[in-house]
């Protein structure tokens, strides 16, 4: 009977689990696509590459989608059991709530182990592919990289330069110089224009540039001998408007899968992260020791003034009161210079320490959160299943509201602690484990309340122990007062 009940519980849970996971995954991806789609749409590559990029980005979102799925599915499943009196029927046969939850607990625990290996193996691969695709997509839009005052080589076969750009999306440019790259024996082409504008091309494999009020210079020298070259006049054409199309299909087709970014902490698995963290700890400690010794040496040297009259260059403490005004002024100027130098040295050292701490924290967060995010599935199940049994409401009404409130609280703690750790304001190990340290005890508490059939939302039950203590204190105080007047 119990085996049939176990399968029934798992089957009942598995349906909402798959549905909720699909919906949440879709919502997370739509949210990201809505925010970032303009970065990779209209760059000249097909829908297949866009879907591939979204797939890579979506794999990293599973770490957050999975705990919320476990929570919501648990509340809906056990809320449905309670609403349909199935939970009461199971308990009437002598089966405890813990025994009812056991098969799902084993399933969720196994799921958390699988999520860890997923985060350790597949997520770094997906992060590497997604980051490189985004980098290459940015490279396939040369207009984005048109920085004023520098020569641009992002468009194959051309060298360009502009003096200024402005307007909406900075599509208007001024002071345009374009030179076609060629050997000394090929035709030379140069375009100079006062103004220009980037326009959407009919074919996304091309970059369309409209130029205004300029000159088109061309030397047709290919295949000509020396005598013909000397006779060849400089050809220039003045134009009011010139439309130029630059072929960027090579960038779009060949560069999209090329991996230009290879060294990033998000690309490392657990073993590699642990090795990197050990190396960073050794390097940071060596830097801290070196900085400490240098600062202490500077402080000691500045505490004494060197007596240059002695040949052995010993340090001797000067009595300031015996110095004349000129010597005092010189000493004050020297002290001021030393303080300014020390201030610059402190700021430089502080910035270096902060930079090292932030870089170290990012590695620790990625490492530890592979474990903590996986265990959050267990914590959320221990919260969701008892809450569903207590609320006794299935469907997508009250369970969804409760699950969203809990997940918002988790997400706020998750992001706040992560930002503190990334800014070196909180220990990264504490930041990574903090959500689990809060929600795991909460899950155990909810499980205990549900298994003992306690009323979770009855506030009087929480104040009863304090009321008992207050009554005992009052009785003891009355006995002492009675004894006093005997």
**Residue 25 sits in the same domain as residue 129:** yes
Is 484 inside a domain boundary?
no
Q: Which of 254, 285, 319 is the last residue in one of the domains?
A: 254
Closest CA to 131 of 27, 83, 59: 59
* Residue 263 covered by a domain: no
Residue 168 has φ and ψ, to the nearest 5°, of -65, 125
Cα 189 versus chain centre, distance: 46
| Phi, psi for residue 207 in degrees, rounded to 5 | -100, 120
What pLDDT score was predicted for residue 380? 92
**Both 19 and 126 in a single domain?**
yes
How does strand 158-161 pair with strand 172-180? antiparallel
Final residue in a domain of this structure, among 254, 288, 305: 254
Domain match, 250 and 314 both: no
Q: Could you give the CA distance from residue 328 to residue 346 in angstroms, rounded to a whole number?
A: 26
**Short-list 235, 238, 143, 220, CA closest to 182:** 220
Question: Is residue 474 a part of any domain in this protein?
Answer: no
Q: Is residue 486 part of a domain?
A: no
245 φ/ψ angles, rounded to the nearest 5 degrees: -115, 125
* Main-chain dihedrals φ then ψ at residue 261, nearest 5 degrees: -110, 115
Residue-level pLDDT at 441: 92
Number of H helices, E strands in the chain: 12, 8
Q: Domain residues for 311?
A: 271-364
Cβ atoms 113, 53 nearer than 8 A:
no
> Of 201, 228, 254, which one is at a domain's C-terminal end?
254
- State CA 402 to chain mean position distance: 27
Domain shared by 340 and 224, yes or no: no
Q: What's the structural domain count of the chain?
A: 3
Identify whether residues 317 and 332 lie together within a single domain: yes
pLDDT at position 40 is 55
pLDDT of the residue at 117:
92
Residue 424 included in any domain: no
Block residue for tokens 């073993």: 271
- What one-character-per-residue DSSP string does 66-131 give? HHHHHHHHHHHHHHHHHHTTHHHHHHHTT--HHHHHHHHHHHHHHHHHHHHHIIIIIHHHHHHHHH
CA–CA separation, 416 and 124 (whole Å): 23
10-residue mean pLDDT profile of the chain (486 residues): values are 79 89 83 63 60 78 88 87 83 84 91 91 83 64 64 75 80 86 72 85 70 83 63 73 74 50 73 88 83 64 46 49 70 74 74 84 88 91 87 68 84 90 88 92 87 62 60 62 52
pLDDT at 394: 61
**115 and 12: one domain?**
yes
Q: Are 130 and 58 in contact (CB under 8 A)?
A: no
b/e code 343-357 from CB counts within 10 Å (16+ = b): eeeeeebeeeeeebb
* Statement to judge: residues 10 and 135 lie in one domain: yes
- Same domain for 336 and 350, yes or no, is yes
Same domain, 360 and 379: no
- The predicted pLDDT at position 310 comes to 40
- Supply the pLDDT for residue 230: 62
72 within domain boundaries: yes
Considering the domain architecture, whether residues 381 and 414 belong to the same structural domain is answered as: yes
Looking at residue 183, its pLDDT comes to: 67
203 dihedral zone (left: phi>0; alpha: psi -120 to 50; beta): beta
Instruction: In whole angstroms, give the CA distance from residue 341 to residue 349.
Output: 12
Indicate the DSSP class of residue 391: H
CA distance 438 to 339: 46
The answer to whether residues 412 and 330 belong to one domain is: no
DSSP 164-228: EEESGGG-EEEEEEEEE---TTS-EEEEEEEEEEEE--SSTTEEEEEEEEEEEEEE--TT--HHH
User: 235-247 and 305-306: which strand pairing?
Assistant: unpaired
Hey, is 243 helix, strand or coil? strand
Q: Residue 215 domain-assigned?
A: yes
pLDDT of residue 454: 66
Residue 192 lies in a domain: yes
What is the rounded CA–CA span in Å between residue 53 and residue 441? 38
Same domain as 236, residue 222:
yes
């Amino acid at each position: 009977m119990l085996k049939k009940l176990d399968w029934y519980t798992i089957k009942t849970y598995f349906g909402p689990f798959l549905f909720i996971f699909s919906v949440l995954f879709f919502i997370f991806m739509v949210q990201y696509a809505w925010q970032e789609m303009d970065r990779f749409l209209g760059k000249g590559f097909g829908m297949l590459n866009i879907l591939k990029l979204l797939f890579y980005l979506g794999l990293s979102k599973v770490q957050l989608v999975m705990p919320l799925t476990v929570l919501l599915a648990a509340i809906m499943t056990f809320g449905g059991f309670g609403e349909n009196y199935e939970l009461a029927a199971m308990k009437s046969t002598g089966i405890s709530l813990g025994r009812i939850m056991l098969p799902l607990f084993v399933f969720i625990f196994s799921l958390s182990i699988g999520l860890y290996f997923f985060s350790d193996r597949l997520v770094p691969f997906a992060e590497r592919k997604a980051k490189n695709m985004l980098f290459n997509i940015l490279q396939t839009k040369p207009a984005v990289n048109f920085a004023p005052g520098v020569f641009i080589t992002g468009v194959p076969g051309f060298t360009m330069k502009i003096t200024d750009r402005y307007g909406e999306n900075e599509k208007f440019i001024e002071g345009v110089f374009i030179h076609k790259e060629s050997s000394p024996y090929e035709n030379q082409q140069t375009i100079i224009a006062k103004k220009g504008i980037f326009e959407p091309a009919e074919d996304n494999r091309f970059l369309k540039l409209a130029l205004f009020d300029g000159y088109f210079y061309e030397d047709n020298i290919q295949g000509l001998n020396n005598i013909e070259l000397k006779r060849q006049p400089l050809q220039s054409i003045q134009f009011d408007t010139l439309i130029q199309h630059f072929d960027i299909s090579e960038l779009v087709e060949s560069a999209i899968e090329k991996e230009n970014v290879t060294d990033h902490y998000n690309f490392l698995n657990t073993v590699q992260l642990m090795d990197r963290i050990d190396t960073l700890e050794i390097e940071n400690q060596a830097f801290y020791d070196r900085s400490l010794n240098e600062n202490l040496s500077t402080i000691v040297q500045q505490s004494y003034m060197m007596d240059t009259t002695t040949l052995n260059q010993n340090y001797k403490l000067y009595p300031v009161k015996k110095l004349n005004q000129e010597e005092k002024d010189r000493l004050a100027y020297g002290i001021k210079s030393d303080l300014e130098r020390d201030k610059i040295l402190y700021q430089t050292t502080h910035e270096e320490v902060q930079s090292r701490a932030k870089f170290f924290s990012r590695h620790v967060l990625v490492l530890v959160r592979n474990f903590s995010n996986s265990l959050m599935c267990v914590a959320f199940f221990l919260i969701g299943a008892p809450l569903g049994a207590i609320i006794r409401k299935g469907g997508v009404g009250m369970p969804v509201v409760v699950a969203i409130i809990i997940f918002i609280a988790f997400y706020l703690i998750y992001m706040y602690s992560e930002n503190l750790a990334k800014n070196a304001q909180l220990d990264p190990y504490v930041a990574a484990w903090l959500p689990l340290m809060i929600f795991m005890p909460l899950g155990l508490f909810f499980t205990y309340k549900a298994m003992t059939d306690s009323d979770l939302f009855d506030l009087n039950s929480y104040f009863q122990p304090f009321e008992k203590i207050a009554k005992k204190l009052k009785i003891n105080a009355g006995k002492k007062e009675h004894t006093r007047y005997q």
